[in-house]
Structure 1
Amino acid sequence: MTKTKIVVSFSGKDSTLALHDLMHSDEFEVDSLMATVTSGFDRTSIHGVREELLVAQANSIGLPLRIVRIPQKCSNEIYNEIMAEAMSKMKVDGINHIAFGDLFLEDIRDYRENMLKPTGVTPLFPLWGFNTDELLHRFLSLGYKTVITCVDLTKLSEEFSGKIIENGFMDQLPKEVDPCGEYGEYHSFVFEGPIFKSTINFTLGEKKVTPDMFTGKDRFCYTDLIPDE
């Protein structure tokens, strides 16, 4: 049976697990990865990971990378226009499906479905509805290694930024924090695991606290990941 080609929206651990499952699927063939990079910063949007490390991930996995560049302080209207163009390029390549690592937030899923509806591209959510405790346990049991690149200081302390997620991690989290950080409590970078041909080596750099764009108060703590030479 001919497999259906699909692109995977790629960022942290959840999308990596979704990619893992799709790469072992009898129904889908992963054509490429897609990631947004903020122009000027040359870092992945939200996660704050350097573009060089994103490229290193794709190379290690052995899949082409579709980088979608978005401007700083990007409005929803402009973002939707840019993503529509990216979807159009996918369709030219004969690809009509894209997968996301979203877990349970209905508003995020509704947003993606409504955004993609005019493009004719079908969104898929391979991990949707699974228990997040079990997902994180499976992720670690498979042998994946990931580091936290950013934390929301209203939900987690600064010490979590730059921390490697290992067994016992869930026991360290406040009860109100989702184990997978689905509410934006933290974001991560995966550097080793079954789908990687080699480890992505890096050094932890400085931490930087940035403000909330609406309140102006310090809110996010990023840890820079510096690619090893």
Structure 2
Amino acid sequence: MGRKVALSFSGGKDSCLALYYLQQQRIDVCCLLTTVWKESLATVAHDEKRERIMRQAERLGIPIHFVETDFGTYTDDFVFYLNELKWHYGIDGAAFGDIYLEGHREWGEQVAAAASIEAMYPLWSEQRDVSGLLHQFVSLGFHAEVIKADVDKLPDKWVGRRIDGSFVKDIMMYKDVCPMGESGEYHTYVYDGPIFRTESARR
């Protein structure tokens, strides 16, 4: 029997590249799981509109489920939904787009274990190798834009920039910034790439 997993999905480059890796391994990503704040319904960390994430899921051809949560119940809410997805889809794993931060991995393993499923990290790499993931993201034909930036680390004018060769060259100049934004230096929205089944409306 093949693997069936739910993917923690933000709509950004990490989760989209993770989806690509999983599909290349012939792992059945049977659903996406996105956390949104109860008050605003914007996505956690990215502050993206729920409608834009739904549009991505439609173009991916994968069902999406939203976890409405807040700071106090975040972990419990995530575990609850993993158990719901296990019952509904028969998932045996939860995949995450984290790359090298051990604290993030520990949390994912914790919530997966609470739902009696396996945590999977298709992008997991050494910190020194992370620039290769960004180069690969661009070379595979993904198209994304910066939707949020930490102004203490990057210029606010970077919001709206496309993730392309020029972006890769520029961000490598910042020695205290992870090229993939692993510590929240910037967040992205992916609007095209090899994982999408239908064309983007963006030109």
- Report the TM-score when normalising by structure 1: 0.81
Moved >6 Å (runs of 4+): none
For residue 212 of structure 1, what is the aligned residue in structure 2?
none
**Whole-Å Cα distance in 1 between the matches of residues 139 and 168 of structure 2?**
14
Question: Which amino acid in the other structure matches residue 8 of structure 2?
Answer: S
C-alpha displacement of 1:45: 1.1
RMSD between aligned alpha carbons? 1.5
Deviation for aligned residue 1:184: 0.9
Question: Whole-Å Cα distance in 2 between the matches of residues 195 and 117 of structure 1?
Answer: 28
Give 1:200 deviation, angstroms: 4.8
Give per-residue Cα distances to partners, 1:39-69, cap 9 Å, x unaligned.
2312111111111110000000111001111
Instruction: Give the length in aligned residue pairs.
Output: 196
1:34 matched residue in structure 2: 33
CA distance in 2 between counterparts of 1:22 and 1:178 reads 23
Tell whether the 8 Å contact from 1:7 to 1:98 is kept in structure 2 after alignment: yes
Secondary structure at 1:189 match in 2: strand
Aligned sequence identity (%): 34
Shift of 1:10: 0.8
Q: Cα 1:128–1:200, aligned 2, differ >3 Å: closer, same or farther?
A: farther
| Structure 2 counterparts to residues 1-229 of structure 1, below 5 A | 2-11=1-10, 12-26=12-26, 28-71=27-70, 74-75=71-72, 78-93=73-88, 94-129=90-125, 131-173=129-171, 174-196=174-196, 197-201=198-202
TM-score, normalised via structure 2 length: 0.91
Larger Rg: 1
List alignment gaps of at least 5 residues for structure 2: none
- Which runs of 5 or more residues in structure 1 are unaligned? 203-229
Partners of 1:57 and 1:200 within 8 A in 2: no
* 3-state secondary structure, aligned to 1:198: coil
Instruction: Give the deviation of 1:106 after TM superposition.
Output: 0.8
Higher percent of residues as helix: 2
Provide the rounded CA distance (Å) in 2 between the counterparts of 1:172 and 1:140. 14
Letter of the structure 1 residue corresponding to residue 181 of structure 2: G
More strand by share: 1
Deviation at 1:179, TM superposition (A): 0.7
CA drift at 1:171:
2.4
* CA–CA distance in structure 2, aligned partners of residues 153 and 125 of structure 1: 28
Compared CA separation, residues 60 and 37, structure 1 to 2 (3 A): same
Q: Per-residue deviation at 1:117?
A: 1.9
Indicate if the aligned counterparts of 1:90 and 1:96 stay in contact, CA closer than 8 A.
Answer: no
